Structure 1
Amino acid sequence: MTAGSHGNRFGHFIAIDWSGAAGERHKGIALAMATRGNAAPRSIRPGHRWSRNEVLDYLRNELPDDALVGMDLGISLPFADHGAFFPGWRDTPASARELWALIDGICGDEPHFGVSALVDHPDLCAFFRRHGGREGALFGGGQGRFRATEAAQRRMGCKPYSNFNLVGAAQVGKSSLSGMRLLHRLANRASVWPVDGLPDEGPVICEIYTTIAAMAAGRTASRSKMRSALELDEALAALGSPPSGLAGPLDDHTCDALVTAAWLRTAAHDPRLWHPRELSDEIARTEGWTFGAV
């Protein structure tokens, strides 16, 4: 695919604010879609409390073939720092897709894409920081291990958390691990960038960080969360989008999804974002990348 053709490749831009919380249905899951042109993005099933299984069903059965889908989760674990996801473990996977299969295999009996069996696994729990002050001997100390894309996020002013960290309000570990189970179950229904490259046709899923979209819309990293129609419409205007048509207070998950869908529509045209300087074939295959991190 030529560098200038990325934007014309897609006609539907879907953002998914994801959640790793326990249970079936979550106010923290929100989906929004923007279409080619400049119409305001719209929530998908507004007011609906999504389950993770319903998101999988949507991606399997309702995804347009020209869709670019951004999911707010980490699509893999750190690999480049030690040349392995789980260094020293004899069964450590060699690629992101093998990692997804491993996680789903270990956790296959857990409903709602739960991941307790993985983080409590006798060989793997040592790599995670878990609740109750249980920091595994191989967690890495400090903030833990990071992927190359998370170093790029930090340079942009973001404050990413390690996907091995499962503690704290801002932790992303459980949501990322549950998302990896979904990606495995999705199989070949969609390509996952950059793990699968960027094929010339078919829907593509990428990892997003909603803070990057909010920053592109004029917010700061520390003020990335929006909770009113006024804040939302200001951000949409900065991205060249008409107002949302909504009013009053809104939850930040809805705002995140709508703003990120509008941002994806503009960002997909930028060839730099598809070719980050540090994204090697090896990192693409193992750690993946966050679309928009440069």
Structure 2
Amino acid sequence: MNANRFTHFLAIDWSGAKGERQKGIALALAHGDGGAPVLIEHRWGRADVLAILRDELPADTLVGLDLGIGLPFADCGAYFPGLPDTPPDAPALWDLIDRIAADEDHLGANSFVAHPDLRPFFRDGMDTGAHFGCDGAAHGRGRFRVTEHAQAAMGCKPYSNFNLVGAAQVGKSSLTGMRMLHHLRGHLPVWPVDPLPPRGSVVVEIYTSLAAREAGRSAAKAKMRNYEDLNAALATLGSPGVAGEGPIDDHSSDALLTAAWLRAVAHDDARWTPAGLTPEIAATEGWTFGAL
């Protein structure tokens, strides 16, 4: 395994919000030779990010996407148990989402969760679907992937990708991100659904709270909203700080910190071989890079 070969580290804080452009998307790049991570200033839309990932990446870039690259599968033996055409693996899931939401602009996925066969699996602002849990179990926080159980064991507070409610939910961003991943097939591998290639760029799923945790932040204080806190966290990772003082939005700080974190840990083989990652989990649920 040659995970020490990356020359650039791009962290993307993602958003599932409606519209052409989302204030919640932020991109930051860290160079393998060192230096402070750099925020790529732009009012981003999801289509812009897709274009960069397809056609404009620097060579040998490790891309971290802050979204879930799959839905829970192992807990129930299927993404959508009981449906005759439930997808068998992550690429088929991405294809299904994109086909159902094909008429939505800006890589939206609202029509997917509104589909009458699929809506019972989600919790939205009006209803908790009958299949939000598994096998008739109490709904609780919903279904989790194996990697999300690993996150929780590390002290994080993950949310189910079937949950579409609340400020901390990740369901909407994950579903829109899966549409983008479908459009990246054949252009950019997505680890661990695809094996880590010996050269070239690759996408991994990130959870910015994991980066913050390794930078000395607690789960309750994972968000950094001023330059002083951000630069203290960067210093913990061995990275130079970024210029600025006073407030910074947490989307930008998440991206900047996570770009530096990817650079600091990508060489560690253990990150690429977590104990819970089986071939079956890789193919169906994927994994969060850094969840051990």
From 192, 195, 203, the counterpart of 1:194:
192
Pick aligned residue for 2:52 from 58, 64, 78: 58
- Cα distance in 2 for residues equivalent to 1:237 and 1:188: 37
Identity %: 62
Number of equivalences: 287
Structure 1 residue 38 displacement after superposition: 2.0
What is the aligned counterpart of 1:38 among 34, 37, 61? Answer: 34
Match of 1:19 among 6, 10, 15: 15
How far 1:65 moved relative to its partner? 2.5
Structure 1 equivalent of residue 235 of structure 2: 237
Contact 1:16–1:29 under 8 Å retained in 2: yes
* 1:122 pairs with 2:116: yes
Amino acid at match of 2:29: M
Structure 2, unaligned runs of 5 or more: 134-138
Structure-to-structure mapping, 1:210-289, within 5 angstroms: 210-289=208-287
| CA distance in structure 2 between the partners assigned to 1:34 and 1:188 by the alignment | 25
Inter-partner Cα distance in structure 1 for 2:163 and 2:117: 17
Distance 1:293 1:24 in 2: 32
> Partners in 1 of 2:104 and 2:70 — Cα distance?
20
Q: TM-score, normalised by structure 2?
A: 0.97
Q: Aligned equivalents of 2:142 and 2:85: distance in 1?
A: 21
SS of 1:53 mapped into structure 2: helix
Structure 1 unmatched ranges of 5 or more: none
1:246 shift after superposition: 2.2
Q: Give me the whole-angstrom Cα distance separating, in 2, the residues matched to 1:40 and 1:65.
A: 19
2:178 & 2:26 partners in 1: Cα distance?
A: 18
- Residue 183 of structure 2 aligns to which amino acid in structure 1? R
Match among 101, 119, 142 for residue 95 of structure 2: 101
> After TM superposition, what 4+ stretches of structure 1 lie above 3 angstroms from structure 2?
none
- Pairing of 1:141-220 with structure 2 (within 5 A): 141-220=139-218
Match for residue 80 of structure 2 among 82, 86, 102:
86
Is this contact kept in 2: 1:13–1:264, CA < 8 A?
Answer: yes
| Distance in 2 separating the partners of 1:196 and 1:275 | 14
Match of 1:6 among 3, 6, 12: 3
How far 1:64 moved relative to its partner?
1.8
The structural deviation recorded for 1:169 is 1.1
What is the one-letter code of the residue matched to 1:33? L
Tell me how far apart the structure 2 counterparts of residues 145 and 263 of structure 1 sit (CA, whole Å).
Answer: 28
Contact 1:38 / 1:240 at 8 angstroms: preserved in 2?
no
RMSD: 0.8
For residues 166-206 of structure 1, the C-alpha deviation after alignment (integer angstroms, 9 at most, x for no partner) is 01111100000000000001122111000001111121000
Paired letter, 2:123: R
TM-score, with length taken from structure 1: 0.96
Q: Deviations over 1:34-72 (max 9, x none)?
A: 01122111011x2x2101100111111111230000000
